[in-house]
Amino acid sequence: MTAIEPCAGSLGFLNGSDGAAISDVAKHLRNLLFDNALPQLEQAETWNRRELLPANLEEIYLECRWENWDGYGARAVTPSAFEEALVLLSSLPENIPLPEFAGEPDGSIGMQWENGPNRIFALSVSGKGVIIYAGLLGKASKAHGTEVFSDSLPTSLMGYLHRLFG
Amino acid sequence: MIRYLRALWAIFTGFSAKSENSDVVDASERISRFVLSKSHVSVQNQRVKYAAFLPPPSRKLSAYRTTTVEEQGIWEIGRTYVAAPQQKAIRGRGDLSANIIRATELDVVPERQPHKLHADVVGWPTEKDEQKMIAVELANQAIAVFPPP
């Protein structure tokens, strides 16, 4: 029983019930936790999610780099498509949720975002400096087309993604 | 439960086994697209991705008419006629009514090889962005079904 008492005391100190001196320590620790450690932890979590994405992309590439990877005669995804997808991915702003990846039958790498029914946006790259996109942006709104890709996501596509999640 | 849902489907669609032998695919028929690539399904989100509905270079998207087939039979068709010849596993399937497919201006036509219930989704545009738009619309309405463990 006596061994438990110090524990109970330490719980009390977190609540500031063990006197002013200990309460100051508790305040200091609480500040450290909430003002510094937790925000850093959240940042680290975001960073880790971004770091994991290339691994997911690589997984898709490894599955789709062979002819007929889909069983329906798909063309192999090329290293240049993979590299371009990596560049595009790194150009995505942090406030855009992470996409899901997919191989496409012509050897392109696709990215897909969803935000509920009738809200899907998809784009693909094939290593040729072109983005092909299509999206449902609500029940009565859709868009599709082609954009030149040179290291950053075109503003028009950024606009569609913001509309998708707006 | 699945049997019950199938019975409901048949009641609501008025579909009969007779029409399955027809050379015309009825608007109410269920069309199933089998998926063999892991990258084309999202098990976590219970979705078949748009890429599973993109046509191959021939612009004939292979599918099956499955309205009158029991759930187990559908997977059997998929395993025997789609997965086994490619030495791959089935990752899932996307179910759509022919009506939904035709609303995108595509068509579903019987193509009875390698199985009497095989069909092709045809009428795809030549431009990739237009194909992608249709694939997104189909994925949006498709019901994802995953094989039993």
Query: What pLDDT, on a 0 to 100 scale, did the predictor assign at position A17?
Result: 41
> How far apart are the C-alpha atoms of A32 and B26, rounded to whole Å?
67
Give the global pTM: 0.80
Are B88 and B50 contacting, i.e. CB atoms less than 8 angstroms apart? Answer: no
**A134 phi and psi, to 5 degrees?**
-160, 145
Average pLDDT, chain A: 79
Between A33 and B21, name the one with better pLDDT: B21
Q: How many CB atoms lie within 10 A of CB B85?
A: 10
> How far apart are the C-alpha atoms of B84 and A66, rounded to whole Å?
18
Q: Is the pLDDT of residue A26 over 60?
A: no
Across the interface, whether the CB atoms of A72 and B36 are under 8 A apart is answered: yes
Burial of A94 (0-12, 13-18, 19+ CB in 10 A): exposed
Q: Which residues pair with B1 in a beta bridge?
A: none
Comparing alpha-carbon positions, the chain B residue that sits nearest to A113 is B49
pLDDT in tens, A56-79: 899 999 999 999 999 999 999 999
Which residues in chain A have Cβ-Cβ distances shorter than 8 Å to B39? 60, 63-64, 101-103
Token pair, residue A100, equals 């899901």
pLDDT band at A5 (very low <50, low <70, confident <90, very high): very low
Query: What pLDDT, on a 0 to 100 scale, did the predictor assign at position A15?
Result: 43
Across the interface, whether the CB atoms of A122 and B88 are under 8 A apart is answered: no
Number of continuous H segments (helices) and E segments (strands) in chain B? 6, 8
Residue A115 sits at the chain B interface (C-beta within 8 Å): no
Q: Could you give the C-alpha distances from B25 to A73, B22, B54, B122, B135, in angstroms and in order?
A: 25, 7, 21, 12, 20
pLDDT band at A2 (very low <50, low <70, confident <90, very high): very low
CB pairs under 8 A between A and B: 98
* Global ipTM: 0.87
Residue A141 sits at the chain B interface (C-beta within 8 Å): no
- The mean pLDDT value for A26-54 works out to 51
Q: Is the pLDDT of residue A11 over 60?
A: no
Residue A105 sits at the chain B interface (C-beta within 8 Å): yes
Residue A58 sits at the chain B interface (C-beta within 8 Å): no
Query: What pLDDT, on a 0 to 100 scale, did the predictor assign at position B63?
Result: 98
Residue type, B149: P
pLDDT average per 10 residues of sequence, chain B (149 residues): 52 51 90 97 92 96 97 98 97 98 97 97 98 98 96
Query: What pLDDT, on a 0 to 100 scale, did the predictor assign at position B23?
Result: 85
> How far apart are the C-alpha atoms of B26 and B101, rounded to whole Å?
11
